[in-house]
Amino acid sequence: MFSSFRYAACLSSRRFYSTEPPKVPAALIGQLRKLIDVSITKAREALSASNNDVKLALEWLDKDLAISGAAKAAKLEGRLAGEGMISTAVLSKGAGSPSGGLRAAM
């Protein structure tokens, strides 16, 4: 009884691919992340979608950023910013500044 259960559990955890998913080299992921600030998973996804081509991966990331940005904006569309305060203050003439320029804080 237990041996059949182990066999069924083993089969359910396996993945059967007709072809193996392409491996993305770590060097290409690093190169892409130096060019644009993106997570490792997004870089890997972009490179696998573009067949390990960095230029096409950058284009894919731009399109993905536009789509995800539009989705986030649509999600926040109904919210109002009726409360809150933004202010600035002039602190001093700027410590250590030979020209005596102003420092400001927000």
Task: Give the pLDDT of residue 18.
Answer: 64
pTM for the complete prediction?
Answer: 0.52
- Output Rg (C-alpha) for the chain, integer angstroms: 26
Task: Give the pLDDT of residue 92.
Answer: 63
Task: Give the pLDDT of residue 106.
Answer: 53
Task: Give the pLDDT of residue 32.
Answer: 92
Amino acid at 76: L
Task: Give the pLDDT of residue 96.
Answer: 55
20-24: long-range contacts at Cβ-Cβ below 8 A with a sequence spacing of 24 or more?
21/48, 22/48, 22/51, 22/52, 24/48, 24/52
Q: CA dist 38 to 12, 19, 34, Å?
A: 34, 28, 9
33 closest CA partner among 4, 57, 65, 8: 57
| Mean pLDDT, contiguous 10-residue spans, the chain (106 residues) | 53 61 85 92 92 93 90 84 72 59 58
Residue 88 region by backbone torsions, left for phi larger than 0, else alpha for psi between -120 and 50, else beta: beta
45 closest CA partner among 35, 32, 34: 32
